Amino acid sequence: MDACEEKPTPPRKTIVIGEEEENKKVLVGFAVWLGITVLAAGLLDLFLKGIPLGFTFPLINIEASVSMILYYVAIIVAAVYIGVVGLKELVIERRFSVEFLMAVAGLGALLLDYRFEAATVLFLYCIAEYFEGYIQDRARRTVEKISQVVPEKARIIADGREVSVNVDQVQTGAVVLVRPGERIPLDGDVIEGFSHVDQSLVTGESVPVPKKAKDCVYAGTLNTGGVLQVVVTKKSSETLVSRIIQLVIESQKRKATIERLVDRFARFYVPIILGLAVFTTAVLPFVFGGGFETWFYRSLILIVVSCPSAFIISVPATVFIAITIAAKRGVIIKGGIFIEKLAQVKQVVFDKTGTLTLGQQAVHRVHRVDISRAEDESVMYAAALDQYSNHPIARAIVRRAVERGIDLSKIKVSDVVEVPGKGIVGMVEGKHVAIGNPEFMEELGCDCMDAFEVTTGDTHTAVCISVGKTGWATICVVDQVREDALQSIGLLKQQGVRTVMLSGDREAIANDTAKSLGIDEVHAELLPQDKLSCIEHMRGKEGLVAMVGDGVNDAPALAASDVGIAMGTHGVDVALESADVVLVNDELSQIPYLLKLSQKTMGIAKQNIAGSLAIKFALGALGLLGWVPLWFTVAAGDDGLTLLLLLNTLRLERLKS
């Protein structure tokens, strides 16, 4: 199946900033306003003491100062806004949010007349929220950037003239004109022209790819050279870009186990902390002595320190950043759960044809029975017939003839009959010519024993050519191994990962391929159900199993493995739907990188959780002893810690291939 001819995917969704991001923008405004207000109030308290700026409110007879008014206005406005967000989550979602805890802490400190601490708590919270949003948005913008580069207009050729229309209105079968320097608006096949296309934004390839007639091009990629005419094969909602965006969006719904544990932990953790704060205020004054005000202040410290925002935010952010980093390299991971599983993979199972190999046969050698006959003569007779066949071996022989400069259009061919699974016969330049396997040649009564004897022990697929009734030669073809296969297998072995190959080919051919690549274990002559049985047998023995495949016969094994990895460029729909990870550009070198990325991601996530809990426990204990002020616990124990953990997460971007 052509790479461009795939089943329609769900409509494309452009990522937009939602309510949560808008809330963060409002918080930034509050942070700036709070900072100015707190600074002004602090300066008044510090430098203008003794200057009669105070006055008494009428009716209530309360003395006030300009600095006090600035503090109160700033704190109350910010606490009310943050508190509304917190109450909304408490009432609608039935969970205690960070906003709710911060509003309680700010208003509680204000009640105790700790104006500077209250204002500082809310100011630091607003600033931290901004940076949290900024760091998370860096990951979102990666995917948003992909959606934004797709042109809004397409230049179609209709009735011999160019017409500019919206891409959403272009139907399949329309012809689109793309000039140099323009981005291709829709997926399609080139029908005229030649150019180099920069596909880096979609597939991760760093070098522009040459495109000629019959080659597939993708929406959003950049035409760097000549003029191209492209016949549209997918609507705007069905393009590869739409598929990538949709998969990345949906990946956020498939949380890793560690993310779900953090969510459940936070759900029970916050109410327990609130209970401890009430206990601190109501009971500890009678146990250890001290006034209500002292212990109420310390309970506020406990509330602030116990805000779970650090690990609630940092762990999902770590996983999502890893997913977007992979997407930039042309790898789609369909959820955090698969990041977690990839980190535990100890066995990688490869399908052979189309995965380790290109799935494209090529002539390896020509064994001539009569060495006095030229090799090109045998290839000419074979290619003359094979040009009428779609069999992979036939196409390989035709390509060999074209490479040798043989003009097949000048050769007289007639009476061509193809026998599926066996061979092809016909008349070439008035001579009876047959090509096929030994059984077929024997059925035809052709004497090809000498031809096949010269290939005894050869691990390549061989077909015999007979002219008249005499065997002239045997052509051996081989499925070409991918250029990066050997390097990828070597990197996996360096990581301590066991490699296995599954193949439906003959055992000799499969063993030869596996030996050349250094694969640890080989299973050959397998049917689809046999591949499934192999995967089920391997699971649970030496860690998790990842399966890499591309075709229909790989779908059951992809679905049964712990992590299914599909080759995306030529992978058919059923394989892509069954897989958990998609290699958009079919680069096997991405697999060792994915394992490293996943392991580092889970390592950072665990570091963030452990570091967060340790620091919060220490600050909570110091706060109950009265050794740290409220504003310091916000700066160090909650917002400052969250920023530190998010910066730790950004180390993922430094991971090299």
Asked whether the beta carbons of 606 and 258 are under 8 A apart, the reply is: yes
Q: Which helix (H) or strand (E) holds 246?
A: helix 240-251
How many helices (H) and strands (E) would you count in the chain?
23, 24
Buried b (16+ CB within 10 A) or exposed e, 493-506: eeeebbbbbbbbbe
Is residue 415 annotated as part of the catalytic site, yes or no?
A: no
Long-range CB pairs of 290-298, under 8 A, 24+ apart, other chains included: 293/112, 294/626, 296/108, 296/112, 297/109, 297/112, 297/114, 297/630, 298/623, 298/624, 298/626
In 3D space, the residue among 558, 591, 579 whose CA is nearest the CA of residue 342 turns out to be: 591
Catalytic residue among 187, 189, 198, 351: 351
Structure tokens at 332: 């789609």
- The alpha carbon dihedral of 293, 295, 299, 301 has a sign of positive
- Look at the block and give the residue holding tokens 């609130």: 274
Long-range CB pairs of 390-393, under 8 A, 24+ apart, other chains included: 391/418, 392/359, 392/360, 392/361, 393/361, 393/461, 393/463, 393/477
User: How far apart are alpha carbons 513 and 519 in whole angstroms?
Assistant: 9
In 3D space, the residue among 610, 589, 624, 358 whose CA is nearest the CA of residue 489 turns out to be: 589
Q: Which helix (H) or strand (E) holds 259?
A: helix 257-282
Q: Which of the residues are catalytic? A: 351
